[in-house]
């Protein structure tokens, strides 16, 4: 049993799942967060999808082909405010390199290995902890309005089958038979891709309730505790300067999501992460809300029923760290809801409107492992899939920290794969 202490900076889903597996492995865990409580950052009101099968990297030839339209503001799912910000230029050029077909395929496959592992680890944790978080084995259906897009998706479905992830291409009649709630769409679609392994659950509920159990096992929490600086001497981090004073531990983990850049820069590490802003609304669900999770591919909007609530999320805005909740983006989500699922929710009674930043790397793969100092670890950059990948990422990290073999091939996920040492 190890007795080392570890300070985890960031109490989002990534920090909390890391705390869970590290505390089980015998570490004394301190969890620090600048916020007033746990999971109030990007993990607060995301799309709720445990999207184990859909791990496709964002940088792809398809996205590059759509780039002129996106930059001209013709795709309502995206909003780009061009700037000469150095971080964006550096990140953007690496993103374009990852958009080559062969790289996109490899990146998707690397993330898929992690997501399938994550599913197993979450199920084990659920058996052990029995947490209520609106978890359902819902499956997920991507619906396509455009025949050509569906045909392209079918090629990836075949590949994923070879990579151990079963999906099915369905015509529109089969989609309707699977999810009768689709009958409320005004116009029939081309068809869909069904992912039977995918699930749904409230990320914030899970994080907060898991942490409540960890508290009883002695995990120490510090909120409104902003880490201002990592103190580094030689090859070791010797302590943290925080808004509550200095703090020391044997090892340190950065799980700071989209806000990681400044801390890393302080020790000379340039993280390849860019914040891509998204939005969600949560409304009361009606009896017509789909049971299966739906991704509306044309609008890039996801619909997930969480008990008696319907969570709808979307938008990919490249606007730097502008934290304002833009009502026009909420109006866009509501327009898509009323167009696609007019009967599924009470859209006049919004329970929550929210915005957050996806911490996206050029390859879309997270960064997991040791970098920057002998006792500094990273669990960062989970982009669009942090909820899905959290348990698997924590499991990989625990293996790295404990010095035992990684439970899966972690090529593409290691700091060195992201140009970090």
Ligand X SMILES: Cc1cc2nc3c(=O)[nH]c(=O)nc-3n(C[C@H](O)[C@H](O)[C@H](O)COP(=O)(O)OP(=O)(O)OC[C@H]3O[C@@H](n4cnc5c(N)ncnc54)[C@H](O)[C@@H]3O)c2cc1C
Residues forming the site for ligand X (CB under 6 A): 9-15, 32-35, 40-43, 46-49, 51, 226-227, 255-259, 263, 278-280, 302, 313, 356, 358-359, 382-388
Residue 246 main-chain phi, psi, to 5 deg: -75, 155
Residue 419 CA to residue 421 CA, distance in Å, equals 7
Give residues with Cβ within 8 angstroms of 141, minimum separation 6: 170, 175, 178, 179, 192, 193, 194, 195, 292, 293, 294, 295
How is residue 420 written in tokens?
A: 């970090």
Residue with tokens 């009323």: 338
Closest separation between CB of residue 152 and ligand X, Å?
Answer: 22
51 vs 282, beta carbon nearer ligand X = 51
Closest separation between CB of residue 17 and ligand X, Å?
Answer: 8
According to DSSP, residue 280 is labeled: E
Closest separation between CB of residue 194 and ligand X, Å?
Answer: 17
Residue 295 CA to residue 201 CA, distance in Å, equals 15
44 vs 144, beta carbon nearer ligand X = 44
Closest separation between CB of residue 364 and ligand X, Å?
Answer: 11
295 vs 375, beta carbon nearer ligand X = 295
Laid out side by side, the sheet with 367-370 consists of 220-222, 28-32, 5-9, 251-254, 376-380, 367-370
Contact indicator for 377, 292 with CB cutoff of 8 Å: no
How many CA atoms does the CB half-sphere of 289 hold within 13 Å? 23
Residue with tokens 């090892």: 251
How is residue 158 written in tokens?
A: 């075949």
257 vs 290, beta carbon nearer ligand X = 257
34 vs 190, beta carbon nearer ligand X = 34
Q: In a 3-state reduction of DSSP, which class is residue 421?
A: coil
Distance between start and end Cα atoms, the chain: 28
255 vs 337, beta carbon nearer ligand X = 255
Closest separation between CB of residue 147 and ligand X, Å?
Answer: 26
Closest separation between CB of residue 226 and ligand X, Å?
Answer: 4
Closest separation between CB of residue 324 and ligand X, Å?
Answer: 14
Task: Sort 67 into a burial class: Cβ within 10 Å, 0-12 / 13-18 / 19+.
Answer: middle
Closest separation between CB of residue 254 and ligand X, Å?
Answer: 9
Q: In a 3-state reduction of DSSP, which class is residue 193?
A: strand
190 vs 400, beta carbon nearer ligand X = 400
190 vs 198, beta carbon nearer ligand X = 198
190 vs 371, beta carbon nearer ligand X = 371
Closest separation between CB of residue 373 and ligand X, Å?
Answer: 17
DSSP labels, 129-192? H---S--B---EEEEES-HHHHHHHHHHHHHHHHTT---EEEEHHHHHHH-GGGGG-SS--SEE
């Amino acid at each position: 049993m190890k007795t080392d202490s570890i300070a985890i900076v960031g109490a989002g889903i990534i920090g909390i799942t890391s705390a869970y597996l590290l505390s089980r492995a015998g570490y004394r865990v301190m969890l620090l967060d600048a916020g007033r409580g746990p999971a109030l950052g990007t993990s607060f009101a995301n799309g709720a999808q445990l999207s184990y099968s859909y791990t496709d990297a964002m940088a792809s030839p398809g996205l590059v082909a759509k780039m002129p339209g996106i930059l001209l503001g013709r795709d309502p799912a995206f909003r780009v405010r061009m700037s000469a910000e150095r971080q964006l230029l550096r990140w953007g050029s690496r993103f374009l390199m990852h958009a080559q077909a062969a790289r996109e395929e490899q990146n998707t496959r690397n993330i898929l290995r992690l997501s399938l592992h994550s599913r197993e680890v979450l199920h084990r944790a659920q058996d052990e902890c029995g947490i209520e978080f609106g978890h359902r084995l819902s499956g997920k259906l991507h619906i396509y309005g455009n025949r050509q897009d569906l045909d392209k998706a079918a090629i990836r479905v075949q590949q994923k089958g070879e990579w151990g992830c079963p999906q099915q291409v369905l015509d529109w009649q089969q989609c309707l038979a699977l999810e009768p709630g689709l009958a409320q769409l005004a116009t029939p679609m081309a068809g869909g891709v069904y992912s039977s392994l995918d699930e749904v659950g409230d990320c914030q509920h899970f994080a907060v309730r898991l942490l409540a159990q960890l508290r009883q096992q002695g995990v120490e929490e510090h909120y409104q505790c902003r880490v201002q600086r990592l103190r580094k001497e030689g090859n070791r981090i010797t302590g943290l300067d925080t808004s509550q004073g200095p703090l020391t531990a044997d090892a340190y983990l950065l799980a700071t999501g989209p806000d990681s850049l400044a801390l890393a820069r302080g020790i000379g590490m340039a993280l390849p992460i860019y914040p891509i802003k998204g939005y969600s609304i949560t409304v009361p669900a009606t009896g017509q809300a789909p049971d299966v999770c739906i991704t509306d591919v044309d609008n890039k909007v996801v619909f997930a029923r969480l008990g008696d609530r319907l969570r709808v999320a979307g938008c990919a805005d490249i606007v730097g760290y502008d934290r304002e909740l833009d009502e026009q983006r909420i109006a866009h989500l509501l327009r898509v809801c009323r167009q696609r699922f007019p009967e599924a929710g009470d859209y006049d009674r919004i329970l929550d409107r929210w915005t957050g930043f996806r911490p996206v790397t050029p390859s879309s793969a997270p960064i997991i492992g040791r970098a920057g100092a002998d006792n500094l670890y990273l669990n960062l950059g989970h982009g669009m899939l942090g909820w899905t990948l959290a348990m698997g990422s924590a499991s990989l990290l625990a293996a790295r920290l404990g010095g035992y073999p990684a439970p899966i091939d972690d090529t593409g996920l290691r700091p060195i794969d992201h140009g970090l040492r």
